Structure 1
Amino acid sequence: MRERRDRRDFVLANTAPLRPPHVPEIVLHLADEAHELWAKTEEALEAIGLPPPFWAFAWAGGQGLARHVLDHPALVAGRRVVDFASGSGLVAVAAAKAGAASVQALDVDPFAREAAELNAALNGVAFRTVSEDRIGRALDADVLLAGDVFYDREFAARLAPWFDRLAAEGTLVLVGDPGRAYLPRDRVERLAVYEVPVTRALEDAEVKRTTVWRWRGDRRPLPGLDAQAPPA
């Protein structure tokens, strides 16, 4: 318990409540230029035993996916939802606000677990948080939401067959992606595109075109949405 309190204290000490620009109805504990965490390199973080703090930032893929869920609540309403690689828990918060029957925020980083719980409380919602690697395992969920997960070749190679299997088993898999290199575009179909404001210190532009994709393995009609989807 002491370790969890220490991690929670670290999150609070290195962030402030901020509203992501593409989903301003949500408030998150995020780092900005005023926090030392913003400037630390990956090497400096490793030296103090801290994994890269993905939980401290609202990444474009997560913002786009959260926006889509809030604008199309029928995707998750009354359903069991997993926010995979949840980071700050932004997408989990959006799913809870959109009426999901249950939400689980899943991330291997224990700091992300604390950040997600703090952010749930900040937004007046509740969901379960889990800090472990469940790639390749069955999920007790109707919907898997994944924001900005195809940034690394090896990680993508692990995810794609798992997403294939989940979709084939009937799980709706939705991915928010701002053009990362390792998204397998032959496996997805486009649902929506958003122009997401981001921080130039983290990205190569001030606005990232972010697409919400549906994993092709799941061919069921989306409630109230398929007729509006742009062509793939």
Structure 2
Amino acid sequence: MRIALFLTCVNDLLYPDTGKAVVRLLERLGHEVDFPESQTCCGQMHANSGYRAEAVPLVRGFVDTFDRYDAVVAPSGSCVAMVRESYPRLVPAAAGVATRTYELSELLVDVLGVTDVGAVFPHRVTYHPTCHGLRMLRLGDKPLRLLRAVEGLDLVPLPGAEECCGFGGTFAMKNADVSTAMLADKCTAICDTGAEVIAAADNSCLAHIGGGLSRRGAPVRVMHYAEILGGES
């Protein structure tokens, strides 16, 4: 199977270790992963802000870059949701590659049939299911199944887990007061678990949550779950 990593803008600019963890993980499982350097932004920010025409060249660029692969994996529920849900409507020719684009847990559990990836992470962890993964991709318990199989990891439930953290891309900027209130509730719930680490499938949401936790002085690390599965400790 030819697998390509779609790193996404946020990870490329701010969280490159997440992409490295995905590659390390898949290579440990015996798969070769390509990183096409021609990849760009998926266009989600443009499309969600009303600039659909400006998103179309980015969609076509994605097709040109990734259409030759059997599977495209991204450590971002948000960007994968954009590809799968919006691409076929914006550019019908993108439908094929859209169906072969997976969030990491989908690739591992549904395509590769793996839940135990051989990871070790002796820490108390709670998991926030981000909105795009929860409501658009319907990841269900796939990330949780992967985390439960990690040796030494103590996975504790997050109260109100399905409630949004308040990020929502431009929502956090355009509706700062509402976003801040939602973030406060999420941070309180995280702190109540006694977890050392809060994990999620989107670094954008983790950045928002991490800022809130930092401002209240909470001793909780934020980590993309790919870094846990990839062996980071």
The structure whose residues are more often helix, as a share, is: 2
The structure whose residues are more often strand, as a share, is: 1
What is the TM-score normalised by the length of structure 2?
Answer: 0.32
Higher relative contact order (CA 8 A, sep 6+): 2
What is the TM-score normalised by the length of structure 1?
Answer: 0.32
